[in-house]
Amino acid sequence: MIISVASGKGGTGKTTVSVNLAASLETPLKLLDCDVEEPNVHLFIQPDEMVSRTESTFVPVIDEQRCNGCRKCADLCEFNALAVIGEKVLVFPELCHSCEGCREICPEQAVQAGSRELGTIETGSWQHVIMSYGRLRVGEAMSPPLIARVQSIIDPDDLVIIDAPPGTSCPAINAMKVSDFVLLVTEPTPFGLHDLVLTVEAVRQLEIPCGLVINRADIGNEEVYRYARRESLPILMEIPFERSIAEIYSRGGLLVEHSEEWRIRFSGLFDTINDRAALQEVGR
Ligand code: SF4
Ligand code: SF4
């Protein structure tokens, strides 16, 4: 069972939901922060020890002694990561998507394996949670490969909660696409609604069941609620705009550790998701 917690825009409370959902349960689970450009789950779930590893990906290195300048590699590369000037091949590593097609096609075996650092992955254990997050290298343009590395620790029988990157572009889609259920966190404001609509469209393209958590539920207007009714989107939880909640959050605290009522609400949220995902599975 893989649950992604996503939002159309940043700052809606996605991480609050991810960490409290994970902490409210007692069964072993993996909590993966796939927001690799700005991971922050570790500010709330803090293992005593973290293991760090650096992740790299393939980029071509041209052996000039072997290369005859035939251009086959540059013609193949869809990402313009290779260019031939005269008989010399120029490599633009930041554009490379690591498909290794150039290596396959080169008739002279002149394309050797080099590497480009993607970033680091930190992993540790906290109570019943194995927590892992990626941190993209400063200057690295592509986050999906590092997101895939964070997700590589998922085993088939795992219970997994993924804190997805905000938005509806490649990183968010890559983080969500492995999910059985997407929990969309939004707020009842015009900006919240605008980005929610885009995210719902993306999740529907992926054919993954979803439900809403409305954060700061007592601000803004009724439009998000009307939209949810129109689109038959279940509202699974509302979190009020309260000073006490903001204070716990700002100290890096967990709502479920401060309040038994919230622990019950978040574990109930998990039960609801579990039931809905199971129903969807039966309907397939
Ligand atoms: S395909 Fe091989 S031989 Fe041809 S230009 Fe590229 S590296 Fe050189
Ligand atoms: S590995 Fe793929 S993307 Fe990278 S340079 Fe070679 S053909 Fe282009």
Render pLDDT for 18-44 as a digit per residue (tens, 0 to 9): 999 999 999 999 999 999 999 999 999
Q: pLDDT for 112-153, tens place per residue? A: 999 999 999 999 999 999 999 999 999 998 999 999 999 999
Domain 64-109 coded CATH 3.30.465.10: no
Ligand 2 close to Cβ of residue 101 (< 6 A) = yes
Does residue 281 carry a pLDDT above 70?
Answer: no
The pLDDT value recorded for residue 284 is 56
Q: What would the mean pLDDT of 98-106 be, rounded to a whole number?
A: 97
Instruction: Indicate if ligand 2 lies below 6 Å from the C-beta of 57.
Output: no
Atom of ligand 2 nearest to the CA of 58: 1
**What pLDDT band is residue 263 in, cutting at 50, 70 and 90?**
very high
pLDDT at res. 261:
94
For residue 277, the model assigns a pLDDT of 74
Please report the atom of ligand 1 found closest to the CA of residue 105: 1
181: helix, strand or coil: strand
pLDDT of residue 220: 76
Instruction: State residue 264's pLDDT score.
Output: 97
Provide, rounded to the nearest whole percent, the portion of the chain with pLDDT above 70. Answer: 98
Task: Kindly provide the b/e burial profile for residues 110-143, where b requires at least 16 CB atoms within 10 angstroms of the residue's own CB.
Answer: bbeeeebebbbbbbbebeebbbbbbbbbeebebb
pLDDT at 280 over 90: no
The response to whether residue 60 sits with its C-beta less than 6 Å from ligand 2 reads: yes
Q: Which residues in the chain are classed under CATH 3.30.70.20? A: 64-109
Instruction: Calculate how far, in angstroms, residue 76's C-alpha sits from the geometric centre of ligand 2.
Output: 8
Mean pLDDT of 238-245: 90
pLDDT at 283 over 60: no
Pair 142, 41: CB distance under 8 Å: no
Helices and strands, counts by H and E, the chain: 10, 11
Q: How much is the pTM? A: 0.90
Asked if residue 161 has its Cβ within 6 Å of ligand 2, the reply is: no
Specify the domain boundaries for CATH 3.40.50.300 within the chain. Answer: 2-54+119-283
Report the pLDDT averaged over residues 197-223: 91
Computed over every residue of the chain, the mean pLDDT equals 93
Ligand closest to 76 (CA) is: 2
DSSP 283: H
pLDDT at 87: 85
Q: What is the pLDDT of residue 209?
A: 93
For residue 11, the model assigns a pLDDT of: 79
Compute, in angstroms, the gap from residue 68 CA to the centroid of ligand 1. 6
| pLDDT of 254 strictly over 90 | yes
CATH of span 2-54+119-283: 3.40.50.300
Rounded CA separation 172/222 (Å): 27
